[in-house]
Structure 1
Amino acid sequence: MTETLLNKLNEKDYIKSRVDDQIKWYDAKSTLNQKMYKRLKFFEIFFSVSIPVLTAIQAGSDIGWILYLIGLFGALIALFSGILSLNKYHEKWINFRTTAENLKRERIFYITGMGPFAESRIGKNRYPTLVERIEAILANENTEWGKYMMENKDNNSASESKK
């Protein structure tokens, strides 16, 4: 954040428009990714457990359609596993939750004047320290996201070059 913008935003505006807004965003993204991960993982487990049961039922009967159901469940397991692997819902859930909690912790420390914002550590003007620490958390998240995107780009390029 530039020095000019920092001077224009007072503490309350910065906390409301930047910190609280980012906490809400990361919290919402974490919740969304957690729900997607748990839903897909539930169905992956459900269909995995169903296959041996259906196989046992099929072995003792002449119900032919069960074989098709077993095949369908196997395909769904592969589909859900692929979606989980491709979209990285679990990793995103953890990363977004970690960032949201780090932002919340900094906000609480700042409001209470504790931890890194104790007057004995930084004097009376705590606001620039808050901005530096919040922006460092957000920059770190952006850096990690960039690394993740580059790794996936490299992995996708390597996969495509093998074709």
Structure 2
Amino acid sequence: MEKADPVLERLEGQIAWYDRRSQYSQRWFKWLKGAVLVAAAAIPFLAGIEAPRLLIGGLGALIVVLEGLQQLNQYQHNWITYRSTCEALKHEKYLYLANAGPYASAQDPRALLAERVESLVSQEHARWVSAREEAKKTLEKLGP
């Protein structure tokens, strides 16, 4: 029985994780934006038919809450960043398996793959931390 390659297992695990998280973030982003659009479109309509002010004000408050959740959780940023990282990891996998690109001339293609995968993951993590810091600054500007 052939022993599993920990480098390829790590790569496959990271591809699967980034793919799942990208899909999750995309779903949340689209759901939140869809709800904001519906609520925003309903406000002038409800005002035109003289709906209760409480309902109209409630929709306005709902928009603020939904946009705040998007800002806090950065679903759009995560969707795009995670998808980009997932595709970059897949690219490395295919180059490695085809013994192409930088792997064609590498003395140790497996070690090079491990280094490049970890570099991609580390870069994405650094971008994630930076985005969280920016979101925190934005929320602090809004005040308590």
TM superposition score category, shorter chain reference? 0.7 to 0.9
1:122 is aligned to 106
Size of the alignment, in residue pairs? 142
1:94 is aligned to 80
CA contact (8 A) 2:22 2:83 kept: yes
1:7 is aligned to none
TM-aligned CA distance change 1:152 to 1:54, over 3 Å: closer
Once the two structures are superposed, the pairs formed by residues 117-156 of structure 1 within 5 Å of their partners are: 117-118=103-104, 121-123=105-107, 125-153=108-136, 155=137
Give distance in 1, aligned partners of 2:115 and 2:61.
49
Deviation at 1:67, TM superposition (A): 2.4
Runs (5+) with no aligned partner, structure 2: none
CA contact (8 A) 2:85 2:124 kept: yes
- Secondary structure of 2:49 counterpart: helix
TM-aligned CA distance change 1:43 to 1:158, over 3 Å: closer
TM-aligned CA distance change 1:157 to 1:50, over 3 Å: closer
Percent of aligned pairs sharing the same letter: 32
Tell me the TM-score normalized by structure 2: 0.86
1:52 is aligned to 44
Tell me the TM-score normalized by structure 1: 0.77
Deviation at 1:87, TM superposition (A): 1.1
Are 2:69 and 1:79 equivalent residues in the alignment?
no
Letter in 2 for 1:26: Y
Runs (5+) with no aligned partner, structure 1: 1-9, 59-64
Higher Rg of the two aligned structures: 1
Q: For 2:17, which of 11, 22, 25 is the aligned residue?
A: 25
CA contact (8 A) 2:96 2:113 kept: yes
Give distance in 2, aligned partners of 1:150 and 1:67.
37
Aligned Cα root-mean-square deviation (Å) = 2.3
Give distance in 2, aligned partners of 1:131 and 1:70.
55
Give distance in 2, aligned partners of 1:149 and 1:102.
22
